[in-house]
Amino acid sequence: MVTVYSIDGVTPIVHPEAYVHPSAVLIGDVEIGAHCYIGPAACLRGDFGRLIVETGANIQDTCVLHGYPEIDTVVEVDGHIGHGAVLHGCRVGRNALVGMNSVVMDGAVLGESSIVAAMSLVKEGVVVPPRTLVAGMPARIVRELSDDEVSWKATGSTHYRDLAELSISTLKTTEALTEREPGRRRVTVGNAVPLHLIRAMRRSGESF
């Protein structure tokens, strides 16, 4: 059962084809689109401004979304918000990625297919161009993204759509085992490959 709170008569909206982990918290003016994944302990506080998570976006574990009154915090289609990130009154463009433990501040806009590196701070009002990597505290433009990097990001969001479906159909509370069973299988969601391995394969002439 998802923890959902109404405030001042405004209740969160969750599309029936979205997955929201039971430990996540949704408050007030929150809209979750189809095929979204909202991870464990994520907190979406729509008690000031509106929070919109569009189709196929993922908000991973322990992320926080918040904003100011009359300002929308938006994660566009296939946006990818990494573990522990904080979004406040900003807009994350289509297919953009916010890396783990990064912060994106009020009025910032991340262009389509851009990437914010892990542990970065995107300051108020900063506009990140499409297909651009930014990094640092404060975040600065590093370079344009390669086709491989943009493709890797898009594939990662597809895997999170798959994870949303898998979680809806199979995730349940249970008791832990006390030892490994013979032939223990792995959880498989797509064919996710870390970016550094893709680069290594490219250098060696392998395909992925």
pLDDT of residue 208: 43
Burial of 167 from C-beta contacts in 10 A (0-12 / 13-18 / 19+): middle
Give pLDDT tens digits for 63-96. Answer: 999 999 989 999 999 999 999 999 999 999 999 9
pLDDT band at 206; cut points 50, 70, 90: low
pLDDT of residue 90: 97
Q: Is the pLDDT assigned to residue 58 strictly greater than 50?
A: yes
The band of 196, judged by pLDDT with boundaries at 50, 70 and 90, is low
Contact 66, 85 (CB under 8 A): no
Residue whose structure tokens are 């909206």: 13
β-pairing, 19-20 vs 132-135, is unpaired
144, 131 Cβ separation under 8 angstroms:
yes
pTM of the model: 0.89
